[in-house]
Amino acid sequence: MKTVPRFSVIYEDGEIIAVNKASGISVCPDRWDESKERLDRLVAETLNIRPRIFTVHRIDQDTSGLVIFAKDEASHRRLSIAFEERTIAKRYIAVVNGRPPWKETACDLPLVPNGNKRHMTIVDRFRGKKSLTRFVLLGGVGNYSVLEALPETGRTHQIRVHAAALGFPVVCDPLYGRDKAVLLSSIKRNWRGNSHEERPLLARLGLHAAELSLPTDLLSNENKNGITLHAPLPRDMAALISQMEKLLGASISDRKSVLPWENSKK
């Protein structure tokens, strides 16, 4: 069985390095378990970046996709502020349970960590921090749909909590949905395979950080016009969406929407 690479390099210059990480690896030290495998250390050691790299932002351990690291303190400070001030646009692809009746919607429920042993985030209209995620329905088959998620804030587990609050939890999510693998037999009518030998199409959290757009003032002179970084879907999510596209008879994940806040900046 082939080993899935823990990360691949998407972009690198003298100030930053962007990687496409696999699901299952923490971006930086886990405050509850420092023995876990760390992406920051793995990237620095594999690429021989000395003396260290600086973590700019995080995505969930079980989420795959784009992560940016800075190579020096000045770049780290500049990029960290940009993420905090929401000047970096983010685009995710999510496979969810259910079939939304809408084409586009937004969820602005305020969120706060609840401090339990599972380190969950909850909706709290009184103590929660302002949070906003826009969702676009890309397509659906059976009881599953593919959404584009555009978070305008960066709360822990934000997309997962907001999707679940709308009634469409991300697949294989043990915290906010059902920890149940997606099978071909569950989306294809008249499936005639052997149920005892069927292997899951997707058996981990169906969430992928697909795109980051960095404006001009965040970059070195090498990229005066800004850049948009794209991380290809991992094999398992790509296989699932491919099967859904075959059954739907249309493309799902290739569509590139205009990030909703970009028009207001022009």
Residue 28 contacts by C-beta under 8 Å, 6 or more apart in sequence?
38, 39, 40, 55, 58
* Residue 60 is a catalytic residue: yes
Active-site option among 30, 33, 40, 60: 60
Contact 163, 135 (CB under 8 A): yes
Please choose, from the candidates 197, 160, 165, the residue with its C-alpha nearest in 3D space to the C-alpha of residue 175: 160
- Taking CA atoms, 21 is separated from 25, 205, 249, in Å, by 8, 14, 30
Residue type, 214: L
Residue entry with tokens 């940009």: 82
Chain-centre distance of CA 48, in angstroms?
Answer: 26
What is d(CA 210, CA 92) in angstroms, rounded to the nearest whole number? 5
257 alpha carbon, distance to own chain's centre: 16
Question: Catalytic residue numbers?
Answer: 60
